Structure formats: structure tokens, C-alpha cells
Structure 1
Amino acid sequence: MTVKTRFAPSPTGYLHVGGARTALYSWLFAQANQGDFVLRIEDTDLERSTQPAIDAIMDGMNWLNLSWNEGPYYQTKRFDRYKALIQQLLDEGKAYKCFCTSAELDAMREAQMQAGEAARYNGMWRDRSDHPTDKPFVIRFKNPLEGSVTFDDKIRGKIEIGNKELDDLIIQRSDGSPTYNFCVVVDDWDMGITHVIRGEDHINNTPRQINILNALGAPIPTYAHVSMILGDDGKKLSKRHGAVSVMQYRDDGFLPEALLNYLVRLGWSHGDQEVFSIKEMTALFKLEDINKAASAFNTEKLIWLNQHYLKSLPVERLKDELQWHLDDQQLNTTQGANLDQVIKAQADRVKTLKELVEISRYFFEDFTDFDANAAKKHLRPVAKTALQTVQAKLALLENWQADDIQAAINETATELEVGMGKVGMPLRVAVTGAGNSPSLDVTLNLIGREKTLERIDLAINFINKRENA
């Protein structure tokens, strides 16, 4: 048997982290078993489904590099298939038309609740043939009245639900459109899905879907229901906990490798290992190792992982992801320092790619103003001699290399009989405009001789104006 899994989001919003984790687990299980992964867009909710939401799902899947072998399939393009099978169930007496009005259904539920019973459809049209010809109707599946549905959930173990707890599900609305639970069943059957990995909120749908599969004579897939993700306050993850959209994490400067690594560990584990490459995830992933308890989202842990990947991924890989942030912050890197070298110098000093761009602007662009606090502290009249001396030594260097640059800085401190900070900090503010940068030898080497000397001039002029003010 070829393993075949699917990710089947509804395009009513962005791809959230819970959906992304489900997609990852489904993708990993297919990969681990040399199987296929299907992307299916469940767009039967015509009022809420939108093209921007479809685009957002695709963007998220592509950014995470969760590639699919089949699809994307769209349920709205398969209505003829659903209607044919609904008619088949009608013809076989396994479904029926229900002419109940909304008022009748409300009264039915009210009476049941007053009697202390579960509110559900009572099957009043189940065996009737006195069908009116001028009233709208829905079509309901004739759920078995006796027995129970049992399935072995690969995460939660054996689950059994009595058929008496299930009512006759609507499979076609009064406007003729098929409903979610029926479309899912037909799709999983037609697409040969062997393993359905989805959120625990679908557990109650599973016995209904199994009964419909049985009525159609279709094979029953293996089910695995993943627990929800909670915020660090123990409540269901939502916008109040920060970014929940996958692409928001991209916008905030996280790497897909970091987010995938974080999501896989949000409910799955392999010993005490925390860092997993995609190759390792694929080799080690098993459904049985997923924890049935809910997982709490921890942004600090995600940031830690992001820092790990910023330090460990090849520069070329970081450049691929950095380009979006360069464009977003409108930083042109075609002039100025070598981008590869800037990434090497800055990657272990930041938490995100967004931050890397923010603190690297001075490598590629000139500035006319210094950070007010840094200038007040370090560009004082007492610093002018140190700047003039180090500038003269830097101007005479035959080779603009880190070792020679550092030697010039050291010689200045020795000659003036001052600590390194009295030379280094004014120089750092002079060439970067602020008080933070990689080591000065690396920073100046990347900025270049001409720009370094120009910026020291700018700082000396700033000090002169300060003296004369």
C-alpha cells in the first residue's frame, strides 16, 4: 500500500500555525513512508471562501517548502461528482429528503432541551414518502440506528461512539450544494487517502464520515487527530498571543527552517533532541510519537531556534530569505559592502532577519546624522584627537585588511596612552552612526577605506560644531 496523506484547509483566512503543523505532520508522514502528499482546498463555504485566502495558503505552504505531489484540488470543481453520489444514496435508500422548516427544527431542539435530551434532529422525515412538491428540502444521510463506530486513532488509541449519539447528517443543502462532511468523505475516497491527519476538533466528524464511507462501499482510512495548540497562558492560540499567521512569521524575520523545527516539536519528540533538520524529521517521524496532550506555544523557544539557524545555515540560504526583508525595508545592497560578508558578520548578533537588515544599513548607505545618545556619549571634544590620529594611520595603510586595521587602532591607543575604549567607541560611532557593530576591524574592512575616512571626517566636523555651539 502506498501511503497517501492530505492537507485540506478551508480558504476562509490565512494559514495559521495550527494548520501549518497539521500540514507538516501530514507531509512528514508521507515523506517518511515514501508516500504522496495531496493539497486540497475545501472551498464549499462559498460565502466565506476567497481567492486572497487561497493565495495566503499557497504562500505559506511554498514558504515552508511543504511541496505536494498532487493538487491543489478544489471541491467547488467536483460538485458533479458529489451530486451523483448523493443521488446514488437516495436511490439506495441510504439518504432521504427532509422538508423541515427552520421553525420546526427550532421547536424540535427546544422540546428536547426541556426534556433534558441532547438537541438534534429526530429523523421525522427519515421514512416518510408523503413529500410535498412545492417546499424546499435538504438531503440527509440515513445514519445507522444501532451499533457503534470504532476506530483506532494513531494518536489517541481506540475511540468508540454509539450510533444513537449521531443524528442524520445533512449532506446536501436546500440550495443543492453538498456539505463539508460529505465532500471530505468523497474526496478522501477518490484521492486514495490512506491516512487522515487533522486537528482534534474533527474527532466528532470521524464516526459520521466512517458511516458514509461504509454506505458508499469505500475503504476506511487510518485516522490521527492532533491536539490543539495553546498560548503560554493555557488558552487556545489566537491573535492576542502574537503572530498566528504563518506569513506573519516570515514578515517578522523568522526562517522557515526555524518555524518547521519549532512546529514539529510542538507535540512530537524524539528523546531530548531539540534541533532537527528536515532530513532528520523525515527519518524519525512516527505518528505514534505525537503527544495527545495539548501543546503550549512558546515564542522565546522559537526565537532561540531562529538564532540557531541564523548562525548555522549557509550564507547563500540566508540570502534567499533575506531578500524579502531587503526589499521590504528598501535597502539596496548592490553598492557598498559585500552582502555575504555582512551576513557572516551580523548573523550571530541578531534574533531575526528583519533585525539583521535594520542594523546593517550603514554598510550600504551613507548617513548624515548620528544616533543622538551615542553621539552625546562618544563624539565629545575629548575624542577628536583620537579620531584624527586613527584616521591618519588608517589612511596610510597599504592593505585594507582586518589585521592591519586593528593594528592601527591599537597603535593609536598606545600612542595616546588611553584605553582601547577611548579610541574604539568614538570610531565605531563615527563609521556606523550608532554605538553597536561587529568588531571594528571587521566593520571597517567591510565599509571600506574611502567611506571610513569620509565618515571620520563627518564625526570630526560634528565635534567641531559641538565645540563652537
Structure 2
Amino acid sequence: MLSQTTATKSVCRLAPSPTGAQHLGNARTFLIAYWSARAQNARLLLRIEDIDSPRVKPWATQQAIEDLAWLGIEHDGSPIIQTQRTELYQELLDRLLADDRVYPCTCSRKDIETAASAPHEQRPPSAPSSDAELTVDAETTIYPGTCSGWRFGEAMPEEGSYCLRFRIDPAPMSFDDQIAGRVHCVPTTAIGDFPVTRKEGVAAYQLAVVVDDIDAGVTEVVRGDDLLVSTFRQLQIYHYLDAPPPTYAHVPLVVGEDGRRLAKRHGDTRLSQYREQGVAPETIVAWAARSAMGTQETFPSQTETAGWDLRRWHDEMIARFDWSQISRERVCFNESDGFGG
């Protein structure tokens, strides 16, 4: 039975997805999460989010673990593997079905795009540079409710032909983010009814992450600001379960000179590639630290930090960590600024 763990202290988590190699942007988010966790003497869990099976690479889990260790990021306990937790996800899915909070949806992506009267293809907004409040827009086409007339007890479609879609509560929502500040959402125009399984019947990300965080008693979630809109989907599930959500911190993404998130078009920024080239992990950690907190007037100069080893960098960042000092601007990475071996 899913129940909230009674935490004796704060619990944070790292949650790499083994769908490919971890890159500089991932490293910066993981490092900020690590510094925050250790600054509050929190337990730091490692969860491998491998339920997206068609995209999972068999080598990527071990590589992610090695990347974290190379950066000096230490987690507590054995890794949590999502594909080993399917029974727990199914338990919640059964409950949602019985409560008529989900329904089978046979629509294809093309069906949804065709039926939606006002599709949105806007990117989630960047975190503001001031304390202004933020209202999120849709990040995808809003589901038009084609299959929402189904009610519990009616016949289910053919197995493998549908996903289960969560019926949203349309009431306006908001939460306080450690970086973005107060964030607002109108569910009917920003998220719509959303999938909690894939058509193969496997739990989808939005449901699995909530189940895992509640089960582990997670109190703080640090991740990229591309997931800002997804937070409202997850909060819908928290509200359904009457469970207190964690504190969120959506870290601005690392982008290329074109303003788009890091990808192969911006050069090879894989952590494994830097390791193979003999780049010192201190180089990556120093870059992440300066981009995150280098605006502080008291932050040591490059001359002062020239001799710092990995342990010194982490100790210094943990000692001075303060969410109010973390940069709210996206970081632009230029390939010419790359880290030579």
C-alpha cells in the first residue's frame, strides 16, 4: 500500500534517465541538487528513471552512476530502479480507475492535434530574473477530451490500444519554487488531461515520479526548468492522494548559443567524453559553481580557487549554499568554451 514515509530529516534525490549519456546540463543540475542536499544534512537518494523502455540504453545506467562518482557526488543507499517498482505503480492505477479519475484514451498524437481547436507549441518560460510571479503556458497541444466520456464499469478498449489519462481538477493552481518564485497555472489551458500510462500499460513518468517521491519521503526536488509545467501535472496527483508535495527548485537549463537546450548540434558535451579526454572533474565542478553562484560578490576569484581539489569545491559550495543566491538565468555554453583535456 502506498503511504508517505515518515521522514526524520530532509530527503532529496537525483533522478537520471538512462535514455542516453549525461551531459554538462545534467551535471550542473545534479551538482546543485547535491550541494543543496548536503547543506541541509539531507539524505540523498539515487533513482534510475528507466520506465521509458523504448528509449532506454542498456549502457546508460552504469555510465550515469560512474559520471556522478567522477564528479564527487555521493548518494545514500542503493539505487532505486523504477522498473522494479511496477506493482506499486499498478496499485495506484487501480485506485485511480475505481475512483473514475482516469479513463482509457485510444487517440493517437495525430488525432489529438487534429481535434484540438487551439494547439499550443510554446516552450515553458524561463525562470524570471526578478521576484515577479509567473504564469505557465502549455508546452504541448492540449488534449481536447475526445475519450473523456468513459466511466468506470464500462468496457475497456482492446489491450495495447490505449493509455490511461488523468482527469484534471480545473481549479487554478500555484506553488512556490525556490528559483522561479510564485508560479501559477490554469489547468484547462496549460496541461489538460494527461497520460499516466503508455499504451503498453506501463506507468508513465508523471505517475511514477509521484509514487516514488511519496514512498521515499522526498522533501525537495531539484530539476531543470523544462519540467516546470510538468510539476502541475504531478501536483494534481498529489492533491488526489491528499499527500503533501515536496519543495521544488527548477534550475535554469544550460543552452547553446542559439538559445536551445544542449544537444549534439552544440558539440559533444557528454561527461563520459570529458572523462575519456582526461578532463579533471574539478574543471566541470568549478564551471557549474561559478555559473550557479558566481554573481556573489564574496565568491573567490579563479586565482584563489586554482588549487582547490574536488573535496574543497564541494565543501565550499555546501557551506555557502543559499537558494536565494542561485542564478535565475539560463547558462549559455559556447563550444569554444569547452574543457580541453
Distance in structure 2 (CA, Å) of the matches to 1:188 and 1:86: 16
Distance in structure 2 (CA, Å) of the matches to 1:295 and 1:113: 29
Deviation at 1:102, TM superposition (A): 6.0
Show the 5 A alignment for 1:142-161: 142-145=167-170, 147-161=171-185
CA RMSD of aligned residues (A): 2.6
Deviation at 1:205, TM superposition (A): 0.1
Distance in structure 2 (CA, Å) of the matches to 1:7 and 1:15: 12
- 1:55 corresponds to 2:57: no
- Please state whether the residue corresponding to 2:203 is helix, strand or coil: coil
- Please state whether the residue corresponding to 2:78 is helix, strand or coil: strand
Deviation at 1:49, TM superposition (A): 0.6
**Equivalent in 77, 90, 97 of residue 97 of structure 2:** 90
Name the residue aligned to 1:278: 314
Show the 5 A alignment for 1:392-411: none
Name the residue aligned to 1:430: none
- Please state whether the residue corresponding to 2:145 is helix, strand or coil: coil
Say if 1:236 and 1:176 are closer, same or farther in 2 by CA, change over 3 A: closer
Show the 5 A alignment for 1:68-87: 68-87=75-94
Name the residue aligned to 1:291: 327
How many equivalent residue pairs? 301
Deviation at 1:232, TM superposition (A): 5.2
- Please state whether the residue corresponding to 1:68 is helix, strand or coil: coil
Q: Which runs of no fewer than 5 residues in structure 2 stay unpaired?
A: 1-7, 121-137, 306-311
- Please state whether the residue corresponding to 2:9 is helix, strand or coil: coil
Name the residue aligned to 2:12: 5
Distance in structure 2 (CA, Å) of the matches to 1:131 and 1:99: 15
Distance in structure 2 (CA, Å) of the matches to 1:282 and 1:139: 42
- 1:178 corresponds to 2:214: no
Distance in structure 2 (CA, Å) of the matches to 1:181 and 1:169: 9
Say if 1:65 and 1:105 are closer, same or farther in 2 by CA, change over 3 A: same
Write the letter of the residue equivalent to 1:273. P
- The TM-score normalised by the length of structure 2 is 0.80
**Equivalent in 226, 230, 233 of residue 255 of structure 2:** 230
Q: Greater share of helix residues, 1 or 2?
A: 1
Say if 1:112 and 1:233 are closer, same or farther in 2 by CA, change over 3 A: closer
Say if 1:103 and 1:66 are closer, same or farther in 2 by CA, change over 3 A: closer
Write the letter of the residue equivalent to 1:124. T
**Equivalent in 252, 255, 268 of residue 243 of structure 1:** 268
- Please state whether the residue corresponding to 1:126 is helix, strand or coil: coil
- 1:25 corresponds to 2:32: yes
Distance in structure 1 (CA, Å) of the matches to 2:333 and 2:176: 28
Show the 5 A alignment for 1:440-455: none
Say if 1:138 and 1:238 are closer, same or farther in 2 by CA, change over 3 A: closer
Larger Cα Rg: Structure 1 or Structure 2? 1
Please say which of residues 288-297 and 34-43 is displaced more in the overlay.
288-297
- Please state whether the residue corresponding to 2:54 is helix, strand or coil: coil
Distance in structure 2 (CA, Å) of the matches to 1:302 and 1:134: 52
Deviation at 1:101, TM superposition (A): 5.7
Deviation at 1:302, TM superposition (A): 7.1
Distance in structure 2 (CA, Å) of the matches to 1:250 and 1:301: 17
- Please state whether the residue corresponding to 2:193 is helix, strand or coil: coil
1:338-368 CA deviation, whole Å, 9 max, x = no partner?
xxxxxxxxxxxxx75xxxxxxxxxxxxxxxx
Does the CA-based 8 Å contact 1:181-1:209 persist in structure 2? yes
Distance in structure 2 (CA, Å) of the matches to 1:233 and 1:163: 31
Does the CA-based 8 Å contact 2:12-2:44 persist in structure 1? yes
- The TM-score normalised by the length of structure 1 is 0.59
Does the CA-based 8 Å contact 2:50-2:56 persist in structure 1? yes
Say if 1:160 and 1:251 are closer, same or farther in 2 by CA, change over 3 A: same
Higher relative contact order (CA 8 A, sep 6+): 2
Name the residue aligned to 2:129: none
Distance in structure 2 (CA, Å) of the matches to 1:171 and 1:235: 28
Show the 5 A alignment for 1:187-202: 187-202=212-227
Deviation at 1:132, TM superposition (A): 4.0
- Please state whether the residue corresponding to 2:56 is helix, strand or coil: coil
Does the CA-based 8 Å contact 2:113-2:141 persist in structure 1? no
Does the CA-based 8 Å contact 2:177-2:249 persist in structure 1? yes
Deviation at 1:137, TM superposition (A): 2.9
Deviation at 1:277, TM superposition (A): 2.1
Name the residue aligned to 1:339: none
Say if 1:263 and 1:119 are closer, same or farther in 2 by CA, change over 3 A: closer
Does the CA-based 8 Å contact 2:68-2:74 persist in structure 1? yes
Does the CA-based 8 Å contact 1:266-1:296 persist in structure 2? no
Say if 1:264 and 1:302 are closer, same or farther in 2 by CA, change over 3 A: farther
Say if 1:261 and 1:217 are closer, same or farther in 2 by CA, change over 3 A: same
Deviation at 1:133, TM superposition (A): 4.9
Name the residue aligned to 1:219: 244
Distance in structure 1 (CA, Å) of the matches to 2:88 and 2:165: 17
Distance in structure 2 (CA, Å) of the matches to 1:94 and 1:204: 20
Write the letter of the residue equivalent to 2:10. V
